[in-house]
Amino acid sequence: MPAAAHPLLEARHVSKAFPGVQALDDVSLAAHAGEVHVVLGQNGAGKSTLIKALYGAYHPDRGEFLYDGLPVRLGSPADARRLGIAVMFQEFSLVPYLSVAHNIFLGREFPGRLPGTIDRSRMEGEAARILATLGAGLDPGTPVHRLGVAQQQMVEIAKALSQHARILVMDEPTAALSDPEIQRLFAIIRTLKAEGVAIIYISHRLHEIFEIGDRITVLRDGRKVAEVKPSETTMADLVGMMVGREVSTTHRHRFADQAGAPVLELRELRAANGVQGINLVVRSGEIVGLAGLVGAGRTELVRAIFGADRIVGGEVRLRGRVLRGGPPSAVLAGVGLVPEDRKRQGLALVRSVQDNLLVAGLPVLFPSRWYRPARAARAAGDLIARLRVSTPSARRLVKFLSGGNQQKVVIGKWIAAGSRVLIFDEPTRGIDVGAKAELFALMETLVRDGAAVLMISSELPEIVAVCDRAYVMRDKTIVGELPRRDLSEENILRLAMHHAARS
């Protein structure tokens, strides 16, 4: 659909500052009907602040908004919703103990026959219809807290679609989705475009931009540095605009020609969460991938290794010794888990950067159990410098950091604890290309120093670019192992999707 004479929604010269930070500086952006306008930028570039300003959650210090060419005041999210603006945030805005259907229609429930009641049957039926368009086989009556991250992502998408918005803002909508789910979402986006919906789309997956984007705005350090069409640019150009410098996107510089001795071994492992018959080895000095479609059992497997879910058969061996007990035993044995959901499972959001960095390493730093503030401050400062954590102070609450910097803090926690087996579950989810490059460089340093890394990623190019070899899971078991010479996206998908013989 050709763009209208004027945008559906326009931000003009918007600026927003917080104490010590200029989050937005004279940013302008226009969303046209029937167009996907992609907003790119590193973590901390100002994307989230811009979204919240468009949604009325933040009030800009300067600038104005126009809707259908007329000035409007976006004083609250209610103002935005009345104008037909819907936002799907990267950080889920779901109520854990309410049902899927109730979350989708929260605040817009269907009234029942009696005053003050809700027509749950109608609400669940409509929720089921929307979920079916997404190909999500979810029970609308299931409480959200029982769902995995990918399933919660689908609920968040369904919630946004249920509002029949004229302007739809999508912040990292594919971050936790498998390739088939992403393609279904893209088909829905194309339908919405044809219906005249204006879409503002944020993603760190650059290849997506060239598949569905019509225009691209690039933000850096709170300022708009470029607006281009996908046909006028390249992925390398976009990376350069985002970070202001050249960044390697090949990820791995040197692979393990000859790995060391086995560090982590799983022998016919079975767990209460459903994983079964798992045989796996990770050696010193190598990065081993764990691939598979969403629901294949990858997260369940690493939770069992870490002791978070009960083992019912087989064994986990660490340097030849059987590992027993829960997470405390795993941590003491030198195992660290960087979880898929870093905010809920990896961080204490209302504690400082220093507290989060040191919490797992306190027995290592203070074996006498006598806490020394000066030593703690030095240790935290050293980790902040080593990992290049962008924070004004070690005392800053970790919830105020960008996603990439929060991820560095989670990793730093296990470095402080002296972990030599590091498990990364979707480590690049929601972080920008510059932070990804730093993360993979850090992994390479860790294995070069003798650590062993097991990495889950739904982004198959990452598995291929980073790992020395990979195991592929389907139906909560391992269906194949791919050595470096055979490690390709095609071979991973062949094992993950089809009934190949187990190796």
Report the Cα 244 to chain-centroid distance in Å. Answer: 23
What is residue 151's predicted lDDT score, i.e. its pLDDT?
A: 79
The reported pLDDT for the residue numbered 158 is 84
CA separation for the pair 161, 397 (Å, rounded): 34
Phi, psi of 347 (to 5 degrees): -135, 155
| Cα-Cα end-to-end distance for the chain | 50
CATH 3.40.50.300 maps onto the chain at: 9-243, 261-334+420-503
Strands 469-474 and 477-483: antiparallel
Q: Which residue, 241, 243, 232, 288, is CA-closest to 265?
A: 288
pLDDT in the model for residue 250:
52
∠ CA(184), CA(188), CA(192), 5° rounding? Answer: 170
CA distances from 80 to 85, 270, 423, 497 (A): 5, 49, 41, 42
Tens digit of pLDDT for each residue in 95-148?
888 999 999 898 888 888 888 888 889 999 989 988 887 777 789 999 988 887
φ, ψ of residue 253 to 5 degrees: the values are: -95, -30
pLDDT at position 368 is 87
Contact 171, 87 (CB under 8 A): yes
Evaluate whether 135 touches 180 at the Cβ level (below 8 Å): yes
Asked if CATH classification 3.40.50.300 holds for the domain at 261-334+420-503, the reply, yes or no, is yes
Contact 88, 159 (CB under 8 A): yes
Task: Print the SS3 string covering 141-191.
Answer: CCEHHHCCHHHHHHHHHHHHHCCCCCEEEEECCCCCCCHHHHHHHHHHHHH
**CA–CA separation, 267 and 317 (whole Å):** 8
User: Is residue 209 within a helix (H) or strand (E), and if so which, with residue range?
Assistant: helix 206-212
Per-residue model confidence (pLDDT) at position 226: 92
Using the structure block, give the residue that is written with the tokens 């708009």.
Answer: 224
Please give the helix or strand (H or E) that residue 67 lies within, else none. strand 62-67
Distance CA 24, CA 492 (A): 41
Q: What is the pLDDT of residues 307-332, one digit of tens each?
A: 999 999 999 999 999 998 889 899 98
User: Are 268 and 304 a contacting pair, CB within 8 Å?
Assistant: no
Tokens of 380: 């935290």
Q: What is the DSSP string of 310-343?
A: -EEEEEEEETTEEP-SSHHHHHHTTEEEE-S-II
Give the per-residue pLDDT at 160.
81
Q: Quick check: helix, strand or coil at residue 493?
A: helix
pLDDT less than 70: residues of the chain: 1-5, 20, 43-44, 91, 176, 243, 245-253, 256-257, 294, 497-503
Q: Please give the C-alpha separations between residue 489 and each of 251, 292, 483, in angstroms, as whole numbers.
A: 16, 11, 13
Please state the pTM of the whole predicted model: 0.60
Which residues neighbour 191 within 8 Å (Cβ) at sequence distance 6 or greater? none
Of the candidate CATH numbers 3.40.50.300, 3.30.930.10, 3.40.50.1820, 3.40.50.1370, the domain formed by 9-243 belongs to: 3.40.50.300
Residues whose CB falls within 8 Å of the CB of residue 350, separated by 6 or more in sequence, listed in order: 397, 399
